[in-house]
A and B are shown apart, each in its own frame.
Chain A
């Protein structure tokens, strides 16, 4: 997992652990913001967009750093991300379609 070959194994490991805790802090912080937004009385559509945006931020950190995808080969990154982009489109389409049914 060492990304920088100039670091000694101990230094690389320390750097890694620092990154892990930093990402954990970011995830906790984003969840806290979501809580604030949930009780802020914002307009529903705006709220929905903020929640989806923040969820994608969290997902990016979990997949990119915790699951290490950011540091994989470009082809591997795209073979996972590309199908998921279509799924996101599908979810968005169903939210819109659902609104036209009732």
Chain B
């Protein structure tokens, strides 16, 4: 655009028709939307950091760890289930399932860049193929998260037995799993933050899948072929990579640390 300007020097920068960032309006606004979305996720991670480190940590090796409301749980002992592992005779598979979820999301990010790359060449069939793989990856991730949530909510077989003072009397009871009111695994904020952070991320994945599907549908209809540009695939790609990026942080701060 800028090369076609023939107006006087003073108008080159301020008269419009210029692209100082060498990116289209849509892409630029996607970047700034993602920046603001990053602030939202940061606020969740900031709350997580503050709340987690204001609770005492469990002292001792992770094999001696037991659930208690007294200290923050060791994540690798909370998230150690894998679908069907008991029928295979495996006692615990710590973090293997989230590792798999991470792998699925990173792979769907890879297929997304491949779709963008195919878009640059204007290869409609390839864009369709890679977009479809991306959508499948997103749906698989959501399925895994549904299983993860179910397992977290239902809880372990032994549960957590503890005593508490109710109306001046000590009552001993056992709770199973976690929700926004009770938490078997540790202090209540642990469960609350789990639901808020993974839930907010999961909702982003869900909207990403919906937007990906709309773009995929338009690719099939030949909308972008008619326009002569597959830039919309790039824009939705930015969003999808951002979702992957957030998961990288959730994986580290919620599951590994």
Interface residues of A (CB under 8 A from B): 1-2, 9, 13, 16-17, 20-21, 24, 27-28, 31, 34-35, 38-39, 41, 44, 47-48, 51-52, 54-55, 58-59, 62-63, 65-67, 72-73, 75-76, 79-80, 83-84, 87, 90-91, 94-99, 101-102
Contacts and interface: CB of A to CB of B under 8 A. Distances in A.
A76 B38 contact: no
Nearest to A72: B23
Contacts of B128: none
4 A-B pairs with the lowest CB-CB distances in the bound complex, closest first: A98-B53, A101-B54, A94-B49, A98-B50
Contacts of A67: 237-238, 241-242, 245
A84 B38 contact: yes
B113 interface: yes
A91 B99 CA distance: 24
Given A20-B110, A20-B114, A97-B50, 18 more contacts: A2-B120, A20-B117, A21-B110, A24-B107, A31-B103, A39-B76, A39-B94, A51-B252, A55-B248, A59-B249, A66-B110, A72-B22, A87-B38, A87-B39, A94-B46, A95-B50, A98-B49, A102-B55
Interface in B87-125: 94-95, 99, 102-103, 106-107, 109-110, 112-114, 116-117, 120-121
Contacts of B23: 72-73, 76
Nearest to B61: A41
Contact of A1 (B76, B109, B117, B244): B117
A9 B76 CA distance: 47
Contacts of B22: 72-73, 76
B201 interface: no
A90 B103 contact: no
A75 B117 contact: no
Q: Is the interface of A mostly helix, strand, loop or mixed?
A: helix
A97 B52 CA distance: 11
Contact of B102 (A16, A31, A41): A31
B14 interface: no
Nearest to B116: A1
Given A55-B248, A62-B244, A91-B42, A99 B53 contact: yes
Contact of A62 (B46, B114, B120, B245): B245
A25 B50 CA distance: 34
Contacts of B29: none
